C-alpha cells in the first residue's frame, strides 16, 4: 500500500510570492492534516480536513489555507510568503474517525523563502 | 511554558545499550500518546501508540504512560546504529488529529 505522497519535495520561493503544496493520502484515508516543522518551533499543527471540510485549525495567520478534494487529496496554500515561512511542511493522513486515530506522515515539502 | 516538554539531547549511546526517552506534559486532558521516529530529511514514522495509562511493548520498543505524573517514556532495548534518529513524543486530547509534539530528542547509537 502506498504511503502519503507529497509534492514537490523541494521548493524555493521569494518573499511576497505564493505557493501551493500537494498531498495524496494513503488509499482509503479520508482525513488529511498539515503540520509545519521548523528548528525553532518544532512540529506545529496547521489544519485538518475531512470530507472536503476543515474541521480543526491551529494558530496560524490567514495566509495559510488549504482545501480537500472529493478524492481526499489535499492542497495547502501560503500567500504573501515571509522569510519565517521557510520550513518543512508535512502532510499526514488517517482513516478519519473521531478519537482512536493513527496518523501517518509523508516525507514533506521543504520550502525555502529567500 | 510549553504543553509538552522533551529534552532535545543529543543523546549518544553505544550499540546494545538500553535507551530511555521521556516527555512531560501539563494538559491533563491528553489521552492519546504517541512516539514517532524521524530520520533526517524524512517525515515522522509512527512507532508506538498508547491510549491512557499503562505499558505497551512492540519488539525492542516499550512505551509507558503515567497520567498521574503526566510523564511518558519510550525504552529501546539492544539499541542499533539504525536507531539513530530524532524521537518525537506526541499527544492529543481526543477528537480529530491535532497532535501536540515535543521538541524531539536526537539519538546517536555508535558501533
What pLDDT is recorded for position A63?
A: 97
B93, B29 Cβ separation under 8 angstroms = yes
Residue of A99, A102, A107, A111 best to disrupt the B interface, most CBs of B under 10 A: A99
B4, A45 Cβ separation under 8 angstroms = no
CA angle B75, B77, B80 (to 5 degrees): 115
B66: Cα separation from own chain's centroid = 13
CB contact under 8 A, B101 and A56: no
Residue ranges in chain A whose pLDDT is less than 50: none
pLDDT in tens, B13-57: 999 999 999 999 999 999 999 999 999 989 999 999 998 888 999
- Which residue is listed with cell 539492544? B78
**What is the overall mean pLDDT for chain B?**
94
Distance, CA of B56 to CA of B34 (rounded, Å): 11
CB contact under 8 A, A105 and B94: no
Q: Identify which of A99, A105, A107 has the shortest CB distance to residue B95.
A: A99
Cis ω before B10 (30° cut-off from 0): yes
What pLDDT is recorded for position A99?
A: 63
Distance, CA of A10 to CA of A108 (rounded, Å): 9
CB contact under 8 A, A98 and B88: no
Per the structure block, which three cell numbers stand in for A68? 480537500
Residue B62 has pLDDT above 70, yes or no: yes
What pLDDT is recorded for position A97?
A: 66
Distance, CA of B81 to CA of B3 (rounded, Å): 31
Per the structure block, which three cell numbers stand in for B59? 519488539
Per the structure block, which three cell numbers stand in for B9? 539531547
Distance, CA of A107 to CA of B53 (rounded, Å): 30
Amino acid at each position: 500500500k502506498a504511503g502519503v505522497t507529497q509534492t514537490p519535495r523541494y521548493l524555493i520561493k521569494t518573499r511576497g510570492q505564493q505557493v501551493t503544496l500537494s498531498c495524496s493520502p494513503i488509499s482509503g484515508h479520508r482525513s488529511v492534516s498539515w503540520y509545519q516543522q521548523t528548528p525553532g518551533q518544532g512540529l506545529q499543527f496547521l489544519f485538518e480536513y475531512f470530507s472536503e471540510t476543515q474541521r480543526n485549525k491551529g494558530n496560524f495567520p490567514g495566509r495559510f489555507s488549504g482545501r480537500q478534494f472529493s478524492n481526499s487529496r489535499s492542497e495547502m496554500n501560503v500567500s504573501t510568503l515571509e522569510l519565517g515561512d521557510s520550513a518543512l511542511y508535512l502532510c499526514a493522513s488517517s482513516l478519519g474517525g473521531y478519537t482512536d486515530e493513527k496518523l501517518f506522515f509523508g516525507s514533506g515539502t521543504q520550502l525555502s523563502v529567500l | 511554558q510549553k504543553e509538552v516538554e522533551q529534552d532535545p539531547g543529543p543523546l549518544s549511546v553505544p550499540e546494545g545499550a538500553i535507551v530511555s526517552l521521556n516527555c512531560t506534559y501539563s494538559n491533563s486532558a491528553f489521552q492519546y500518546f504517541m512516539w514517532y521516529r524521524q530520520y533526517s530529511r524524512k517525515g515522522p514514522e509512527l512507532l508506538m501508540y498508547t491510549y491512557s495509562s499503562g505499558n505497551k511493548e512492540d519488539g525492542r520498543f516499550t512505551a509507558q504512560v503515567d497520567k498521574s505524573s503526566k510523564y511518558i517514556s519510550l525504552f529501546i532495548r539492544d539499541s542499533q546504529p539504525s536507531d539513530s534518529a530524532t524521537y518525537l513524543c506526541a499527544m492529543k486530547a481526543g477528537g480529530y488529529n491535532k497532535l501536540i509534539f515535543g521538541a524531539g530528542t536526537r539519538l546517536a547509537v555508535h558501533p
